Amino acid sequence: MVGTVTPLDPDACYRALVARDARFDGLFFVGVQTTGIYCRPVCRARTPGRDRCHFFRTAAQAEEAGFRSCFRCRPELAPGAAPVDAVSRVVAAAMRRIDEGALSHEGNLDDLAGELGVSSRHLRRAMQAELGVSPLALAESRRLALARQLIVDTALPLTEVAFASGYRSVRRFNAAVKARYARPPSAMRRGARDSAPTESLTVTLHYRPPYDWAAMIGYLTARAIPGVELVQGDVYLRTAVVGEQQGWLSVAPDPSGAALRATVSSSLAGALMPVVARLRRLFDLDAQPEAIAAHLGRDPRLAAHVRARPGLRLAGAFDPFEAAARAVLGQQISVTAARTIAGRLAERLGAPIATPHPGLSRLFPGPAAIAGAPAQALATLGVPARRADTLRTIAAAVTGGRLSLDGGAEPARLIDEMRSLPGVGPWTAHYLAMRALGWPDAFPEDDLGLRRALGDVSGTAARAIAERWRPWRAYGATHLWRAIKP
């Protein structure tokens, strides 16, 4: 059923604008009638009068109404609005796929709708009703936002900026930028830039504070796959393959504000849209910590944990299949043992890659590599034969198109499909929905640690207790895990 856009309360939005309340950053945008510019609610420019303000849920809506984005607060840097919690599953899935570039380069609306199991007409109606913009308008807004960040913040040649931000031609890129920002790309560059090829480029990924980076980096450190991932101090590094592109990346806190700085090898520039989307999901950058903490903090079992770590995030996964493989390898063994086995898998079946970072030398093997591997290659990893068979079964299902782990996957359906595979139980299925899809309401009720933290209860009792945490059961579970596994 197609929903409708919930109208914004203009007076409440204006109060947030006057206060420059960072909790509302990315949740609405304000267009100023006299200037034709739209801004984030945290913009430091002079606050306009109430009668000159028009409020929009998304940047795309403001642009559809004819407003140009502010060059001071830069709306393209605003954190997202966690659409998975607010709109229907088909619209949330479409937004994720659009963020990953589904309507850029050679993608089209019919193909996207087909992936989601609906008609293109239904998808247009659903997105217009729930977001106030069409799929194509949203895709154009996403492309221009990334293009502007690359133009202003990097020395990437403009030709490469065009393709990195999802445009099929430089001519189309130039025309779109000039139409939206009233100036050509070259005029948006800050001073002279060296257009010589560079080994990497850096993009800024904003979030809503607070953010518990210590907890996130601790989680990633304990699970870093040798050869594929590496943590050095506060910096997370890994190798990456996206489509035909492969390379490396690193992510660290931005000392200037509520953001992360992602450095991406130039070899991944052609896949920058999906890389950015995956990083936002991995680090849970579109969460609304104030709302989550307010809700979970009402439960006496969680209140102290939430007060201690109000910025705790849900650690996701850069690659969904990698998350699936790790979930299977981690069944009934310790985190350290699972990390060791995953490293062996990468060493034996992953392709080698050269990087400037010692310790990053392998790509994690994709589903085709694992599905086609001889049984003996998996048997020597140190896992039971049945678990190795489960891993091969999942890999074959993904390779054959019978199982989808991409951004268009619907969590409840993924859980059912995973549980239908031999060797996959409720814990593995929910854990995968939590990590691979970033589903905030996933809850692996059979997890022994969670059951103990809740008073040595049964899985059924754990599920009943967690009902009051909806739609953020995964965050409740993360708080408990963090408390028992510091």
The residues annotated with a catalytic role in the active site are 39, 447
- E strand intervals along 207-301: 229-232, 235-242, 245-253, 259-265
Bridge partner residues of 203 (DSSP) = 262
SS3 label, residue 119:
coil
Q: Hey, what are 72's tokens?
A: 């001071």
Task: Give the Cβ contact number of residue 472 at 10 Å.
Answer: 23
The first and second tokens of residue 485, run together, are 């596994």
146-155: burial string, b at 16+ Cβ within 10 Å, e else: bbbbbbeebe
d(CA 306, CA 482): 11
Q: Are 439 and 406 in contact (CB under 8 A)?
A: no
Which residues lie across from 253 on neighbouring strands?
260
Burial of 244 (0-12, 13-18, 19+ CB in 10 A): exposed
Structure tokens at 435: 């990590």
> Can you tell me whether residue 160 is helix, strand or coil?
helix
CA dist 143 and 274 (Å) reads 11
> 3-class DSSP state for residue 70?
coil
| b/e sequence 289-303, b meaning 16+ C-beta within 10 Å | bbebbebbeebebbe
DSSP string over 407-462: TT--HHHHHHHHHTSTT--HHHHHHHHHHHS--TT---TT-HHHHHHTTS--HHHH
